[in-house]
């Protein structure tokens, strides 16, 4: 198939469409991979990873690895925050077919096609409107923020004064024995 993929949404030549990762020559048919890829298309990466983690198909394991690689490419090469990424496009193309033959009755041979596929996942940063909607949803749930760095910084701030307070106010031990207490 030539030209841009239909679900990639980047039709301007010379512009970058996001961070990409691909697995080539995966020993499964492209149709089996497309079933799994349809589950995660246009999802944020955290939701997509959870979906793939609990999907009971062998291709979900492979797609999850490709998704993790695409997120790693975005964070390391493009300096994007992993919490702000979503699956912009994902597709499975057919790879070369390994042709094998099985002996059949009366000297005939049955053809066996061992299919392969190339899986590609493209992740990109959400738009500001999408980020605002996601943040509003998390605030409605009562979760302070989805940004891990902000949560860790807030946790460390609250832990610093709390760790100093118990040392100063150590409770005194009760030295009365059970006989003195009347028991």
Beta strands across the sheet bearing 19-26 = 19-26, 117-125, 85-94
Beta-carbon contacts of residue 71 (< 8 Å; ≥ 6 apart): 19, 45, 82, 85, 123
Q: Domains (ranges, CATH) in the chain?
A: 19-144 (3.90.470.10)
Full pLDDT tens readout for the chain, 183 residues: 445 565 555 556 666 778 999 999 999 999 999 999 999 999 999 999 999 999 999 999 999 999 999 999 999 998 899 889 999 999 999 999 999 999 999 999 999 999 999 999 999 998 888 888 888 887 777 655 557 777 788 888 888 776 665 555 555 565 655 555 555
Beta-carbon contacts of residue 50 (< 8 Å; ≥ 6 apart): none
Q: H/E element holding 117?
A: strand 117-125
- Residues 94 and 138: their CA atoms lie apart, in Å, by 39
């Amino acid at each position: 198939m030539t030209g841009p993929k239909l679900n990639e949404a980047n039709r301007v030549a010379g512009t970058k469409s996001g961070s990409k990762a691909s697995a080539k020559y995966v020993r499964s048919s492209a149709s089996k991979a497309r079933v799994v890829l349809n589950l995660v298309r246009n999802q944020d990466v955290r939701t997509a990873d959870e979906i793939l983690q609990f999907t009971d198909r062998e291709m979900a394991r492979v797609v999850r690895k490709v998704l993790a690689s695409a997120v790693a490419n975005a964070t390391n090469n493009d300096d994007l925050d992993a919490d702000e990424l979503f699956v912009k496009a994902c597709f499975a193309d057919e790879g070369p077919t390994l042709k094998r033959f099985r002996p059949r009755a009366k000297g005939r041979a049955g053809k066996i096609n061992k299919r392969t596929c190339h899986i590609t996942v493209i992740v990109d940063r959400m738009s500001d409107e999408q980020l605002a909607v996601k943040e509003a949803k998390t605030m409605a749930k009562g979760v302070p923020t989805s940004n891990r760095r902000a949560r860790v910084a807030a946790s460390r701030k609250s832990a610093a004064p709390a760790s100093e307070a118990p040392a100063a106010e150590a409770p005194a031990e009760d030295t009365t024995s059970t006989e003195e207490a009347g028991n």
